[in-house]
Amino acid sequence: MKLEKLKQALIISFVIVSSVALQTVLGGSGADAQGVDSHIPDLAGIWDGTPRSRPVNGERVPWGEENFPDLNQRARAYQEVWEEIMAPKYDCQPASSPAIQYDPYHMQVTQWPDRVLLRYEKDDQLRTVWLDGREPTATDFSLQGFSRGYYEDGVLFVTTTHFVFDIAGFDDYNGIPSSSQKKVTERYWREGEQLNMTLTVEDPMFFNGPVSYTTRWLPAGEGYRLAPYGCDPEASRASVRFYPSKYD
């Protein structure tokens, strides 16, 4: 009996401490009656990024004449020698920013006190946006980079750095690489049932200035769950043999 009472006391103490910690992380003094700051938008859920929500991406979508990057000489040289069979996607390498956000698949957003999780149906990728102020280290370079964020006035602001070099790091279509100097900033906000995002990418190694696009997601159908992407490297690379090479 004493052991059971001790367990109950420990559980109650844990709940109280967790509640206080949550309110502290979210800004206790400015919290509403539920302990959640009013400036934090509700972004959680599964969001539909298929053609139901926006045009399918391509060589000029979402990049058009008005927002196509001004490429420097280095980028143009890479683009000149580019051919489709070089694309890492045929070896099942996942897409990264700024392309993965626009790919025509669903995305799931999970909001925790110290982080936001962005899970993409495309390539089965998971990004973590840290809200606790931590700084990246020399070992945090990766294909998806290191993301930090904060909430302000109903908007989630995200800055991502520490990308690795990617021969097709700009998108899947234009043969433009990205470097470890790539920096991607995102703004997420709600308009009714719609989730909006404006993305800006900078990469002084290949661009003469920043470029941006804005897109949206709509709520996924009731009961929808993210589907496995299931890329098969052998089958994916096999399709490349049908593409003519410019270097015969």
d(CA 187, CA 212): 11
- Return all residues near 129 (Cβ < 8 A) that are at least 6 apart: 115, 116, 117, 118, 147, 148, 149, 156, 158
Residue where the block lists tokens 């490297």 = 233
pLDDT of residue 10: 45
pTM of the predicted structure, to 2 decimals:
0.84
- Return all residues near 199 (Cβ < 8 A) that are at least 6 apart: 97, 98, 101, 184, 185, 186, 212, 213, 214, 215
pLDDT of residue 239: 81
Collect the ranges in the chain with pLDDT lower than 70.
Answer: 1-37, 248
pLDDT tens per residue across span 50-85: 999 999 999 999 999 999 999 999 999 999 999 988
Residue where the block lists tokens 């690795």 = 164
- Return all residues near 51 (Cβ < 8 A) that are at least 6 apart: 104
pLDDT tens per residue across span 221-238: 999 999 999 999 888 888
Give residue 155's region: left, alpha or beta (phi > 0; psi -120 to 50): beta
Domains of the chain: 45-220 (2.40.128)
d(CA 136, CA 147): 9
